[in-house]
Structure 1
């Protein structure tokens, strides 16, 4: 039986471990934190959102970013301090603009495939993660915003997503708790929400029942191919260094994937794009009644919401290009609180839990899923703001590839593919661009 190491116990690492364990593989997960799902998979916006699959590589996004440069409360903020990684990533991001249409459609297809996998996993393993199948409502305050969204909607529908326009009256009927001026919106009934942290922790327990070994507080320091063809993985745990040999290694390390890929000669240009969230504690009946159950997306503010059970309301958004900085800034949290007060005036924000996490973003916005240059190295990383939405499908794809007898042969770095994608040939090309 092949020994497989997975680096990272976030949503992508744990779903990959599960997919491999169900195929009978012997899996060890190496995670630098004490528990699973302690970084980007801790407190995201909660949306399982094929309707949010539009990639960011568009001229409109770039122009908005330039206008926002000097606003501290802007949805997109960049630290202008020089840095090779940041500016080289931006250069690659701009070169992906011609692929905006194809990458958006491909992301929709992948999100739809992932949805069915995740639902079946949760049912099979009995994972409670505050799942709400109430759809996602996008709303727009102006005609111009709505018309722009209509063009995006055509791409989402081409990818296979059913999403319908709604009037201001329909918006209020769908979510009576929402206050504000609306020109129109779009409603995706098939989208849903849930607590990514609870799901990932529950799935890690299911993996352990299947024989997966989790090694927490373990930092990977080196990956070297040995003379016998195995991969020697050097680790450090509680000050003790060790080396262990595996037949294959899957890198699912989020923002740490770029450094790990460099160990084995691959260029995986993941950049940490910081996002923020607040969890509003609904401590009284008035707040619980004033909080929405339908998930929302305010396109102009780039803010998403999810109801996580009766007593929690998650509000998330913003993007910040500031390297590996994990600081929680008050001036970035304040717009989320103010937005909540404005749209839900009856909800108390007396007890709010702030959080910041680093999205692992590739320039082309598609994840790196597949084989690396070095023999028996694989990737499932770089999902950006859609890790929760895409992970169940990309885990199946990479597990199928790792488990295939042919996966032991050397592969080009341009060969990642998703066997479950509707158009495998196209998927191969797009994933290659994203890396």
Structure 2
């Protein structure tokens, strides 16, 4: 194979293209938006977090979900309307519970490998993405949640992650801007944060310098596979049909990967899980001085923060099972704003940019990385809430699979 088409120019697609270029392939990226990184890779929580590698396939998640079902502001919200896709996905989720421990450990291992690759790429290509290396601090309100975190910490340690317990006093020393009474916390000094959109756009530009071509504003409508792969495309309005010929195709299209897999004769059971974020503009020296620099995860609220340079604070959270709906709901944004005001009283929330994106989740919470049924078709997709954290490693894996020719 010489020429590979990559479908999707989000974080997984662009890192995959870069890894393929490094191995000598000709690469064409096909993206339905006008620019790279305009969907789920636009405004996520910003954390590159091996410490958040615990997969969701455990009974604790199910119990919390049942408890939250009647709360519109709950961290996890499920639209109860019937859907074969949704309830089939949940059934497979339940059957994945026995793999909870092994998948958590494996996710940590992938995250640590991705961290090394990301630093190498950013240095080699001189990509500025508001990198902040001040660690990630998890905080817990009560003894029960802290005890559960201690059990999870043993799994993270098996995967090779080092993090340490911290007392309430140490929490205050690590991040003086944080307000609240906490039972305790865990601090992962080696984790970090950055702007996923800036990194994706910067790496897309590097791919162009290395010889990749991009076909923007093109939807893939059909795949015809004989000795080559023919991608039939059109513009977002359904007009201006065109073809692209390649020796192989890597599907990295987020929640659209399920539809594209069907075109290739495969089944990739991705469900779109909506997450929300706000970007708080820190327009004054007082606001900048009142906002945190250490990245946070509040376990009770399931909310994370990342400082994106001196003048922006990203606050993100929630998981919403509501199909492909991308509406930005006020009742889901409001808890993020209120939490920010409560935890950081000196940060004004009068200038806030809301956003919602669809995380591509597999039932077992593990990305689909490998070959499809046909020898010309490959997948690097389904990273869920950890696409930013895992992508630089899974890109290397799929590029090796393509290059092996097996």
Q: Same fold (TM over 0.5)?
A: yes
Task: Work out which structure has the larger RCO, using CA pairs closer than 8 Å and 6 or more positions apart in sequence.
Answer: 2
In structure 2, what is the equivalent of residue 418 of structure 1? none
2:396 aligned counterpart, secondary structure: helix
Instruction: Give the Cα separation in 1 of the matches to 2:243 and 2:19.
Output: 25
Q: Deviation at 1:282?
A: 0.2
Gaps of 5+ in 2: none
Q: CA-to-partner distance for each residue in 1:214-248, whole Å, 9 max, x for gaps?
A: 1100000011112xx11111111362111222100
For residue 345 of structure 1, report the CA deviation from its aligned partner. 0.2
Alignment correspondent of 1:61: 61
Q: Distance in 1 between matches of 2:95 and 2:395?
A: 28
Q: Secondary structure at the match of 1:207?
A: helix
Which residue in 1 is equivalent to 2:346? Answer: 346
1: CA distance between counterparts of 2:89 and 2:8? 23
The aligned runs of 1:68-217 (5 Å cut-off) are 68-217=68-217
Q: Does 1:371 align with 2:366?
A: no
State which of 232, 235, 238 in structure 1 corresponds to 2:233: 235
**What's the secondary structure of 1:29's corresponding residue?**
strand
Matches within 5 A, 1:28-47: 28-47=28-47
Q: Distance in 2 between matches of 1:376 and 1:86?
A: 29
| Mapped partners of 2:231, 2:2: distance in 1 | 15
Q: CA deviation at 1:69?
A: 0.5
> Are positions 1:49 and 2:39 aligned together?
no
State the secondary structure of the residue aligned to 1:137.
Answer: strand
Displacement of 1:375 in angstroms is 1.9
Q: TM-score, normalised by structure 1?
A: 0.92
Q: Secondary structure at the match of 2:241?
A: strand
Which residue of 2 is the match for residue 309 of structure 1? Answer: 309
What pairs up with 1:237-256 in 2 under 5 angstroms? 237=235, 239-256=239-256
In the alignment, the residues of structure 2 paired with residue 232 and residue 30 of structure 1 have an alpha-carbon distance, to the nearest angstrom, of 13
- Displacement of 1:198: 0.2
Matches of 1:267 and 1:332, distance apart in 2: 32
Alpha-carbon offset, residue 250 of structure 1: 0.1
TM-superposed CA distance for 1:97, in Å, is 0.6
Distance (whole Å) between structure 1 residues aligned to residue 9 and residue 162 of structure 2: 33
Q: Does 1:18 find its partner at 2:18?
A: yes
SS of match in other structure, 1:222: strand
Separation (CA, whole Å) in 2 of partners of 1:244 and 1:79: 39
Distance 1:375 1:37 in 2: 28
Corresponding pairs, count? 404
For residue 378 of structure 1, report the CA deviation from its aligned partner: 0.2
Q: Output the CA distance in 1 between the equivalents of 2:213 and 2:231.
A: 15
Whole-angstrom distance in 2 between the partners of 1:22 and 1:98: 38
- SS for the counterpart of 1:180 is coil
Residue 23 of structure 1 deviates from its aligned partner by 1.1
* Offset at residue 302 of structure 1 (A): 0.6
Report the Cα distance in structure 2 between the residues aligned to 1:244 and 1:161, rounded to whole angstroms: 43
Query: Which deviates further from its counterpart, 128-137 or 237-246?
Result: 237-246
Residues of 1 paired with 2:16 and 2:98: CA distance?
31
Whole-angstrom CA distance in 2 between matches of 1:286 and 1:405: 57
Q: Distance in 2 between matches of 1:154 and 1:74?
A: 28
> 2:323 is matched with which residue?
323
- More deviation in 9-18 or 231-240? 231-240
Task: Identify unmatched segments of 5+ residues in structure 1.
Answer: 407-435
Return the offset for 1:163: 0.7
Aligned to 1:403: 403
Cα distance in 1 for partners of 2:124, 2:375 equals: 34
**CA offset at residue 175 of structure 1?**
0.4
The DSSP-based 3-state class of the residue aligned with 1:279 is strand
1:173 Cα deviation (Å)?
0.4
1:284 aligns with 2:280: no
> What's the CA shift string for 1:97-144, capped at 9, x where partnerless?
111011000000000000000010000000000000100000011111
Q: Does residue 391 of structure 1 match 2:394?
A: no
What is the alpha-carbon distance in structure 2 between the residues aligned to residue 25 and residue 82 of structure 1? 44
Instruction: Measure the CA separation in 2 of the matches of 1:405 and 1:302.
Output: 42
Cα deviation digits, residues 18-67 of structure 1 (max 9, x gap): 01111111000000000000000000000000000000000010000011
The alpha-carbon deviation at position 405 of structure 1 amounts to 3.0
- Give the drift of 1:184: 0.3
Distance 1:102 1:251 in 2: 26
Runs of 4+ with >4 A deviation: none
